[in-house]
Structure 1
Amino acid sequence: MDRKRALIYPYDSESAFLLRFNHLNKVFNSVGVVSPRGWALVGKDAGTADGGGEIGLIVAKDFEEYNDKDYDAVVLVDSFKELDFEKIVYPKLELQVSKGKGIISLTKIESYHLKLLEDLCNSNNVSFQSFVDDKKPNMPKLTNILDIDVPVIFVLGLGDRTQKFNIQLSLWEGLKRLGYNVSQIGSKSYGSIFGFHSFPDFMLSDDISEQNKVILFNRMVKRIEINEKPDVIIIGVPGGIMAINKDIAQGFGIIPYMISQAVKADASILSIYYEEYSEDFFKEIELLAKYRFRATIDCFNLSNIKIDYAEVEQSKQMSYLMVDKAFIDDKKNKYKGVNKPFFNIFNENDQRDIVQYIVDVLSGEEAIEDVL
């Protein structure tokens, strides 16, 4: 299937991974990005958004900066700052649809707005595709937990925006390159564009009890094991593993807890914020993982995102600062006494090394057979 040439909108750090892992995308080829003027990205390299290094695309302020012949569709994505759909987003999409451009949605849209978009695309005879997984599950009759008989890798985060999805994509690509048959549940709702499973919508539903979510997730992973016969399963865990403080709850680690009760990890990666940490912090976080999530933290990824605590305290809203990726490699060396490896997922060598390290961890436990 030929990939559609697409422009990403509204572009910011939340969608930068689509460019960095564009070669893995099976649905569309990202050929450009459009960002609102006030987001301080227009005219800059798209890599500025996540601080992970240059990508080679310049951020445009509007779709009109691109030739109509150069793209086939617009990809609607999540962004850190929310835009008014009816006042800002819809008019832009309406103009693009009138030019014959299809719409690809990677974000959950309210039912009323979704109907507007579907009707708009239908009336203009252009395609509308939504890759958000919102299927309603059927509750199994038995409520016991089934064992998963292949190794499972957790990708956890101390909080949001810690590059967990970049890690997941690096593992997905790297393990496949080594010859393993890999199955994966991504931490986002549109993993299917990369060829793996999306994070199930039922885990976020208010209509399903926490107990039933645990059972349903366990059954989902078991079906993947039976149907796909993987050598290893990667599970990207959304959200943070705990509240940072009373102002930064991050879901209180509830979703990671439910996932850990549904499936036991054989190896785990924890991605953390860029901060000054004591060795005691890492000891405590490993105890937390062991007793709350039944998991051993095998290595850490140090992200380039730092919480802006002063702004959070003042505004009572999440705020982040971005650190140049060059500082991460220096910071990693300060934690050698922790006795666990630290990686920088924006470093190409670390992208390869973290894959090999996880293989070594699992091979040491004789959990992955040598399939090469």
Structure 2
Amino acid sequence: MNLLVYPSSKEVSALARHSEIVKDFDEITFLVPKGIAQEGEDFALLDGGQTTGKKISTDFKAKIDTADAILFPESIRSFSENYIKEIFLSSMQKHKQVFTEYLPHGIEKKSVFLLGDNDESPNFMTDDGRDNVYGIPIPVIFVLGAGPNTQKFLVQIAICDFFERRGYSVSLIGSSRLSKFFGFPSLPNWMYQNGISERDKIIALNRFFYNQYIISNPDVMIIGIPGGFMPMNPMKYEEMGIWSYLIANAVTPDATVFCSYSIDFEPNAIEWQKNICRYKLNSPFKHIAISNTSINLSLESRRYEYGTIPLSSIKSIPLPICEETEFFYSGDDESMRNMGKSLINFLEDNV
């Protein structure tokens, strides 16, 4: 089965870098609009990481005829809605199965597979009618980040892939709806909805994670946390760190991976981040995954703007010496394997 991904970007890095563990599809074609890349360039051009051997295509019309399904992922790039709608309609007219993270205006929900869409209701009570929280009796790993676009999902899949290759049974609850393509659930939709109190969301999330443990009976659980760990923008509070707060109160991790932007690291700043995660989220970390994402606050739009930095440039940035802190690179496959080894050693020594 051939899956066509359009428009491809850094957000689908996990599909490119871990395509061998994608379920149901043995071939994935990554397409971008013309002008973003040249035909045949490596996917690494999009995410800044190590070369993948996965080639980019710009010829949508030629590739769609050989595809069995098409995925429309969310992207930090903006595209004309009319243009995207035309691509949707073209795919459906050719009777392709359509997976999407969003619905353009005028596209009926029943005609596509909307990723992350489910009718599951939150459960606020335990079997005995109490509203206490259950403990998860296996090692739990959090993957959280300084903010959005820190390649958290790529790191989650890299950890999952490494643990499974070592013979461990893994339950992953992903921060991205793309989890479906790896055979795992993503965080429930009701977590993002209004009308449910924070207290009830915490209890319901605890039930959700515990039920995943009961269903999967895994050796380890990985939980991806969307967004950031605290408010970042002093001009506009668009990222409040709410999801990290809710999830950290629903379950206590045994290890935490902190995904960072590509910046000049200061020991004092790292210690400050570690203290916030330790005391606010009960999620102390020693593993930092450096993403290929740069961040800049635009004074004009009052929003953060994100860019992609090549791995070679990131590795040229000196790393500070910080006590009980290890640094790894999200876009470097060998570095991610080293992080997996370090996590196993850490859990063996502390759980």
TM-score by length of 2: 0.91
Return the match for 2:90 from 88, 95, 98: 95
Return the match for 2:135 from 147, 159, 167: 147
Instruction: Please state if 1:358 is matched with 2:343.
Output: yes
Counterparts in 2 of 1:325 and 1:143: CA distance versus 1, 3 Å: same
Whether the 8 Å contact between 1:151 and 1:265 is mirrored in structure 2 is: yes
Counterparts in 2 of 1:132 and 1:112: CA distance versus 1, 3 Å: farther
Counterparts in 2 of 1:57 and 1:277: CA distance versus 1, 3 Å: closer
Q: Percent identity?
A: 27
Whether the 8 Å contact between 2:19 and 2:28 is mirrored in structure 1 is: no
Quick check: 179-188 or 51-60, which moved more? 51-60
Whether the 8 Å contact between 1:274 and 1:303 is mirrored in structure 2 is: yes
- Which residues of 2 match residues 1-372 of structure 1 at below 5 A? 4-37=1-34, 40-43=36-39, 44-66=41-63, 68=65, 70-85=66-81, 87-105=82-100, 107-109=101-103, 113-115=107-109, 118=111, 128-141=112-125, 142-247=130-235, 249-309=237-297, 312-331=298-317, 333-365=318-350, 367=351
Detail structure 1 runs of 4+ shifted over 6 Å in the superposition.
none
CA distance in 2, matches of 1:200, 1:30: 28
What is the deviation of 1:192?
2.2
What is the deviation of 1:30?
4.6
Instruction: Give secondary structure in 2 for the equivalent of 1:7.
Output: strand
Counterparts in 2 of 1:67 and 1:359: CA distance versus 1, 3 Å: closer
Instruction: Give secondary structure in 1 for the equivalent of 2:161.
Output: helix
Quick check: 251-260 or 277-286, which moved more? 277-286
Whether the 8 Å contact between 1:133 and 1:198 is mirrored in structure 2 is: no
Whether the 8 Å contact between 1:282 and 1:338 is mirrored in structure 2 is: no
CA distance in 1, matches of 2:334, 2:32: 30
Task: Extract unaligned runs of 5+ from structure 1.
Answer: 119-127, 368-372
Counterparts in 2 of 1:247 and 1:114: CA distance versus 1, 3 Å: farther
Whether the 8 Å contact between 1:184 and 1:196 is mirrored in structure 2 is: yes
What is the deviation of 1:232?
1.1
What is the deviation of 1:259?
0.3
Instruction: Give secondary structure in 2 for the equivalent of 1:251.
Output: coil
Whether the 8 Å contact between 2:50 and 2:332 is mirrored in structure 1 is: no
Work out which structure has the larger RCO, using CA pairs closer than 8 Å and 6 or more positions apart in sequence.
2
Whether the 8 Å contact between 1:35 and 1:42 is mirrored in structure 2 is: no
Counterparts in 2 of 1:102 and 1:227: CA distance versus 1, 3 Å: closer
Instruction: Give secondary structure in 2 for the equivalent of 1:222.
Output: helix
Matched residue, 1:122: none
What is the deviation of 1:112?
5.5
Once superposed, what is the RMSD of the aligned Cα atoms? 2.1
Instruction: Give secondary structure in 1 for the equivalent of 2:149.
Output: coil
The Cα offsets for residues 280-336 of structure 1, whole Å up to 9 and x where unpaired, read as: 111111110111101111211111211123xx22222331122110133333x5222
What is the deviation of 1:131?
3.0
CA distance in 1, matches of 2:122, 2:152: 29
Task: Extract unaligned runs of 5+ from structure 2.
Answer: none
The Cα offsets for residues 215-264 of structure 1, whole Å up to 9 and x where unpaired, read as: 11100111122222221111011111012231364521111001000001
Whether the 8 Å contact between 1:187 and 1:198 is mirrored in structure 2 is: yes
TM-score by length of 1: 0.86
What is the aligned residue count? 346
CA distance in 1, matches of 2:79, 2:306: 18
Instruction: Give secondary structure in 1 for the equivalent of 2:8.
Output: coil
Structure with the higher fraction of residues in helix conformation = 1
Q: What letter is aligned with 1:36? A: P
Counterparts in 2 of 1:29 and 1:131: CA distance versus 1, 3 Å: farther
What is the deviation of 1:338?
4.3
CA distance in 1, matches of 2:345, 2:69: 42
Counterparts in 2 of 1:66 and 1:148: CA distance versus 1, 3 Å: closer
What is the deviation of 1:62?
4.1
